[in-house]
Amino acid sequence: MSADPNATTARHRDPYLDAIRAGALLVVVLGHWLATLPVIEAGQMVDTEHLLQTWPPAGFFTWVVQVVPLFVFVSAAVSSEGSEKRNLSGESQLQWWAGRALGLARPTVSYMVVLVAFVVVSLVLGGRMLEPLNNSLTVHLWFLLLLLGVQALLGVCVWADRRWGLKVIVGLILFAAVIDLLRASLSAPADVLQFGARVVSDHHLLGWLNVLAIWLVPQQLGIAWWRGRFKASQAGPVFLLLGMIWLGLSVTSGYPVQMVDGEVGGASNLLPPTLALLGVMWLQVGAVLIFEKPVRRFLERGRADRLTVILGALGLQLYLWHKLAEVPAARVGEWLNFGMGTLPGDAGFWQGRLEWLLLCALMVLPIMVAVAWFESRRRQDVTAATSTWRIIIGGAALFAGLGLSLVLGAHPGAFFGLAGVACASFLLRARAA
């Protein structure tokens, strides 16, 4: 399974898009590990801090490591051709989505089973390792929810692009701007200078409408790129410059610098999404277009094929399991007094971060070997359900399971997550004849 459930068959693969997804996946994994700061007392981990909460300048790094818009953009570019054919032939877009959801649900069941087992064992033994990492073990599941959501609308988005072209992107941005404008509640001309600060100053339920508008922009942009609505050589520098200006103006007006994490209802660009988040999309898509030719030439030499193939085959599994590697990494770090306990401002902080990354990378290797062994022995010829009600109920169960795990953390969220995802895995597959 690819890091993107929209992976194409081998004969239709685009090595450049595969390389982008592989590189983005590594950025996400390393970024998640880097952001976890174990807090040590008397030689034992008692809590974890987040790098963004303890070192504000780290917010600028999120302009690079917030690659979800890039995943959505590439996913749309990969899947648009198939969706267009289904639109024109009248084939079911819902059944296609069921296949994507099933391909995501099955390996997620395995992760949830192990997570439940870890929670049970931890509680029996006192829960010392569970409490500090409770939310960390499920926080990454939000990306799966988002990807499933935008993919469910891919057919509509491809049709809209064929009907209105780039006007769809403009319309989505204008809609998001109106939502932010309503959130800002401007009462005087001088308020414009603090527009971003006013948007995120108070929680407004209206802002959640931008979950749809903001995250569909990179999908529409990926569809437009696939259809050839702009040339990489011309659009790349324009998007890159637009992204730099967009982010600069956003921060100047008071939007938060960081583009990940954040507190629901607090000063966040993500929960709910704001216009500022689009600056990251422009910046990263611009870079993708600018570097397309030189990277394609490099890939033609075959030097990165093996790594791309490995990450493509195990990408989803690595994304699911990489946070669990923090558990053995913390135990080994405690034992060796290695990579633990340093916070921003401490002497040797960055050395400690490198040591922690090394521990996590070493711990994830045996996990991935076990996962790869298990997945290679799992039945692969499973087909998606065709029954509309099974797809709808199965999809709802999948969203509910992932959502509860995300909100509640490993304990007790993994128990609800396992129930929901297992139910989805059953309902989303076709009945045996």
Q: What is the pLDDT of residue 2?
A: 40
* pLDDT at site 263: 61
Q: How far is CA 177 from CA 154, 182, 223, 259, 286, in A?
A: 23, 9, 22, 17, 21
Whether residue 61 has pLDDT greater than 60:
yes
Look up residue 313 and give its amino acid: A
**Would you place residue 265 in the very low, low, confident or very high pLDDT band (cuts 50, 70, 90)?**
low
Exposure of 309 by Cβ count < 10 A (0-12 exposed, 13-18 middle, 19+ buried)?
A: middle
397 — pLDDT class (breaks 50, 70, 90): very high
CA dihedral sign of residues 14, 15, 17, 22? positive
Q: Which of 200-209, 273-282, 288-297, 299-308 has the lowest mean pLDDT?
A: 299-308
pLDDT on residue 10: 40
Domain residue extents for the chain: 10-163+292-427
pLDDT in tens, 328-353: 999 999 998 888 888 888 888 999 99
Scored b (16 or more CB within 10 A) or e, 159-181 reads bbbeeeeeebbeebbebbeebbe
- The answer, yes or no, to whether residue 433 has pLDDT greater than 60, is no
Report the predicted TM-score, pTM, of the whole model to 2 decimal places. 0.90
Residue with tokens 């005087």: 188
- Whether residue 182 contacts residue 247, with contact meaning beta carbons closer than 8 Å, is answered with no
Say whether pLDDT at 327 is over 90.
yes
Q: What is the pLDDT of residues 105-150, one digit of tens each?
A: 999 999 999 999 999 999 998 878 898 999 999 999 999 999 999 9
Q: Lowest mean pLDDT of 86-90, 103-107, 418-422, name the range.
A: 86-90
Output the pLDDT for position 264. 61
CB atoms within 10 A of CB 383: 12
Task: Give yes or no for residue 364 having a pLDDT over 90.
Answer: yes
Instruction: List CB contacts of 189: < 8 A, sequence separation 6 or more.
Output: none
Q: What is the dihedral of CA 63, 66, 69, 71, to 10 degrees?
A: 130
